[in-house]
Amino acid sequence: MTSPLPSSSSASVMDLAPVVPVVVVTDAADAVPLARALVAGGLPAIEVTLRTPAALDAIRAIADQVPDAVVGAGTVLSPEQVADSVAAGARFLVSPGWTDVLLDAMQASGVSFLPGVSTTSEVVALLERGVREMKFFPAQAAGGTAYLKSLAGPLPQARFCPTGGIGPASAPEYLALPNVGCVGGSWMLPQDAVAGRDWGRIEALAREAAALRHPLG
């Protein structure tokens, strides 16, 4: 039984957990135990970035062997990557930015997606295209919570998943904003824990992250 995921981009991966782990997999053999640790900790939505040759194999393995996970592809930059990711089993797509060509492919993919934005004009352009859920990236460098707070008044229909420079200390500040559905981050995946295959530590960190849902709201 797979975890439910709304099929429309208007109600997507943001509703599954307060934090979406952003995962860089260098060894596809690590994908399944890593995903199981994140799911056990309460983070079922897992973004595997297309930054390594192992990424598509990792997505395929998680989709096949971890039914409670909702695996997605991150750093999606082209229509070809959209097609390859969906074929591998990705149930959502995340991009650091967007173009009309990329957005067309994501909208036609049949899965949820979060195109990346960092400016008000990009947000307005996506709203014109019927997209209301977006990745705000790079969150800290692009203005952080102050920027997102300033967008809530004139653009209340836009909902964001801020990613980039966010950790356990700053995540609650983002999650308290009315236009933030979840945040993306990798702090629950410290390099030494992944390299040492310390899945218990990763599960514990994931559990702490899962408890961050709107604590200031």
Which amino acid appears at position 40 of this protein? A
CB 67 within 8 A of CB 36: no
CA R_g for the chain: 16
Active site residue 149: no
Strands 45-49 and 183-185: unpaired
- Do you know the residue count of the chain? 217
Q: Is 47 a catalytic residue?
A: yes
Spot the catalytic one: 133, 135, 173, 203: 135
Angle at 43 between CA 46 and CA 32, to 5 degrees: 55
Which tokens go with 32? 């399944």
Q: Which of 47, 133, 173, 203 is catalytic?
A: 47
Contact 136, 160 (CB under 8 A): yes
Cα 122 to the center of its chain, rounded Å:
19
The arrangement of strands across the sheet holding 45-49 comes to 112-114, 92-94, 70-74, 45-49, 19-23, 183-185
DSSP per-residue codes, 33-44: HHHHHHHHTT--
Do the Cβ atoms of 132 and 10 come closer than 8 Å? yes
What residues are labeled active site? Answer: 47, 135
